[in-house]
Amino acid sequence: MVSRRLGLRPGTAADRDWIFELRHTVYAEELGQHAVNPAGRLRDALDDHDVVYLVATVGGEPAGFVSITPPWTGRWSLEKYLSRADLPVLDEPDVFEIRILTVAAPWRNTGAAGLLMYAALRWVQSRGGRRVVAMGRTALADMYRAAGLRPTGHTVVSGEVTFEVMSARVDDLAVLARQRYAAVLDRLSIDLDWRLDLPMRDGSDGCFHGGAFFDGIGTDFRNLDRRHRIVAADVLDAWFPPAPGVLRVLAEDPAWHARTSPPVDADGLRREIATARGLPADSLTLGAGSSDLIFRAFRQWLTPQSRVLLVDPSYGEYTHVTTEVIGCRVDRLTIGPADGWRIDTERLVGALAGADYDLAVLVNPNNPTGGRLPARVLHDALTRVPTRTRIWVDEAYAGYAGPDQSVASLAVQRPNLVVCTTMSKMYALSGLRVAYLTSDAPTAAALRRWTPPWAVSLPAQLAAVAALRDPEYYAARWAETAVLRAELAEALRAVDPSVPVEEAVSNFVLVTLPADGPSAAEVVAACRRDDVYLRDLSPMSPVFQGRTVRIAVKDRAGNARIVAAYRAALAATRESVTTR
């Protein structure tokens, strides 16, 4: 009996011949979009660039394909028919073009077409895409609409075929897929041969963060001993323990800590922060981690009519809250490797001066890129932006840059500036969740009115106070982090000197894999087989092109395991690439 098992895999160079032949069969011989040619093949100029083919198989044999044009190619098939003035979406930095969805005639009733559309969506998601555009044949327009694509108002006639130009936000398509097609995907996944370098299901309605290492431990906490064999380098938790005073106070009477309600407003902790930072206590707002403060503050300040400027790439929670939770109009200031992953302050000031923004968000030093603006440079830029635009500066990793690299003192004086500081990463308190905002007193008072009682737990308050009372311990750990970071970067470069390894100013390094080798997702998956968890940055932004891995600094033993797993992963995935 012939197997009819469906599969999906990346296209390879060896697939190009049958793809070009199938394109000719369908679009020249069958539909009349193009003239029949003696070679019996159809290809176009985009095939010489970084277009991606995904291939559907039936019983292991190719049955159809779909092509994806990512934004880093700098060109679109649609430009043969429409200018960017006609279709401004093509100028967005995060739009992907999905085109020539094609299934051979014998396999058109197998579900291959629907799976190719879904696979294209997941591939675009995995590379940080936020919008797709496509030309869909008018004869199949209902199928495209059912998948969530919406007409742009443009039609294109090519040969004997009329196409409708359609577009959609990636997040909207993903929500629709989960809600409308979950049962179908569940059924298909039972026997689907899925060979793409990304999970079949996105698995989350919220912002994806690091911390996948808990998959190896188990989120039911039944096998916590597994944590000893896991290297959790996919999240930027501190490699070092909290200060000795923190450990003492937490160990002193855990039963009392667990059963006792904390001070309602955490006023003692607020005064301790004020003393340690030289800030007025009435300028501080406390929360259970920075995400608590982001959700609380943004939902007070912003509406769907608000306009927001975000740096891209940056901490994903800001995109999630502004676009998905509130639904703001969001613009992006894109940074990349050519500018050292740093914000050009003149571009920033110009962007803010040229538009009526309600909020702009800066993460400094930036996560996930590590680029940093010196405090004096940022201070100068902040004094030149419109006062009606609220500026939010996230300083989660500022301690690694130095004690004089915060602009929190300026926030006390400027009503349009708010500085967010978390104690999670710098003070090794990620599991306890403590953060604070610095602003002028009226802004802080307004936010405190919207702060629920007991927002910061008793163990968290006790630990944070003890941590702030031992600055020497943490200064020594931050300095040691810089040494470990340099050692890790050097060891990773030694594995393959042709692969760039960039040191960030904080507690991680970036590895950018070459375009002709394994993807970031493949290397990350290979490392997990050795219980080493790294972060594939691809879903955060198209600027990473599916090639950048972020690796958190660990102690020397942890770093040695990271290097060993990375070496093995490169060898295994490169062998896989050469045999495709």
Burial of 483 (0-12, 13-18, 19+ CB in 10 A): exposed
Structural tokens at position 487: 């050692």
Q: What angle do CA 272, 275, 279 make, to 5 degrees?
A: 115
Nearest alpha carbon to residue 107 among 52, 180, 55, 40: 55
Cβ neighbours of residue 540 under 8 Å, at least 6 residues apart?
128, 313, 316, 368
Residue 100's closest CA among 65, 132, 130? Answer: 65
Counting as low any pLDDT under 50, the low residues of the chain are 1
Residue 354 DSSP label: T
Question: Helix, strand or coil for residue 158?
Answer: strand
pLDDT at 486: 97
pLDDT for 1 equals 44
**Residues 121-161: tens digit of each pLDDT:** 999 999 999 999 999 899 888 889 988 999 999 999 999 99
Q: What is the pLDDT of residue 205?
A: 62
What does the alpha-carbon distance between residue 445 and residue 501 come to, in Å, rounded to a whole number? 44
Across-strand partners of 359? 308, 390
Residues 166 and 153 sit within 8 Å (Cβ to Cβ): no
Q: Tokens for 517?
A: 């080798």
pLDDT at 376: 94
CB 380 within 8 A of CB 345: yes
Read off the pLDDT of residues 233-249 as tens digits, 9 standing for 90 and up.
999 999 999 999 999 99
**Could you give the CA distance from residue 46 to residue 138 in angstroms, rounded to a whole number?**
23
CA distance linking residue 54 with residue 119, whole number of Å: 8
Predicted pLDDT of residue 179: 83
- DSSP label at 29? I
User: What is the reported pTM?
Assistant: 0.92
DSSP bridge pairs for 309: 331, 360
pLDDT per residue as tens digits for the range 321-372: 999 999 999 999 999 888 888 899 999 999 999 889 999 999 999 999 999 9
531 dihedral zone (left: phi>0; alpha: psi -120 to 50; beta): left
